[in-house]
């Protein structure tokens, strides 16, 4: 099975709400995590990353939380906008070696105006 997975394949929210997308990982050696956003018919784009020496990192309207104890990662989007509608992937990797990033299945975020 996949070492990285998502709890909810589809998330529907109203414009202005906050969104939370979850991700579980199983490789204890993973120490670098990235969230990507993929719009329909396009390649994924980097949103935010976090290293294992942190448990929280904030960007513009986005926050990533890392819980190494339960191997869980989440992406929080504040004041969700229609332009946030996309598929979101988390990826895990490990530094110091040739561990290639592993992607989860993705969560489709649908934002209703």
Q: Please give the residue ranges that form the binding site for other proteins (CB under 8 A).
A: 2, 9, 32, 34, 36, 41-46, 49, 89, 91, 93-101, 103-106
Q: Which residues of 90-113 are buried (b: 16+ CB within 10 A; e: fewer)?
A: bbbbbeeeeeebbbbebbbbebee
Closest CB 24 distance from other proteins, rounded Å = 13
Nearer to other proteins, 14 or 40 (CB): 40
Closest CB 16 distance from other proteins, rounded Å = 27
* Residue 84, φ and ψ in degrees, nearest 5: -85, -10
Q: Are 23 and 4 in contact (CB under 8 A)?
A: yes
Nearer to other proteins, 14 or 42 (CB): 42
Closest CB 23 distance from other proteins, rounded Å = 11
Nearer to other proteins, 44 or 84 (CB): 44
Q: Are 105 and 22 in contact (CB under 8 A)?
A: no
């Amino acid at each position: 099975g996949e070492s990285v997975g998502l709890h909810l394949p589809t998330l529907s929210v109203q414009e202005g709400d906050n969104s939370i997308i979850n991700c579980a990982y199983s490789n204890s050696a993973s120490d670098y995590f990235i969230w990507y956003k993929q719009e329909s018919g396009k390649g994924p784009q980097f949103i935010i990353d976090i290293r294992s020496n942190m448990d929280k990192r904030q960007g513009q309207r986005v926050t990533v939380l890392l819980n190494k104890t339960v191997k869980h990662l989440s992406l929080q989007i504040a004041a969700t906008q229609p332009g946030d509608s996309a598929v979101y992937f988390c990826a895990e990797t490990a530094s110091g070696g040739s561990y290639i990033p592993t992607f989860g299945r993705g969560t489709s975020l649908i934002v209703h105006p």
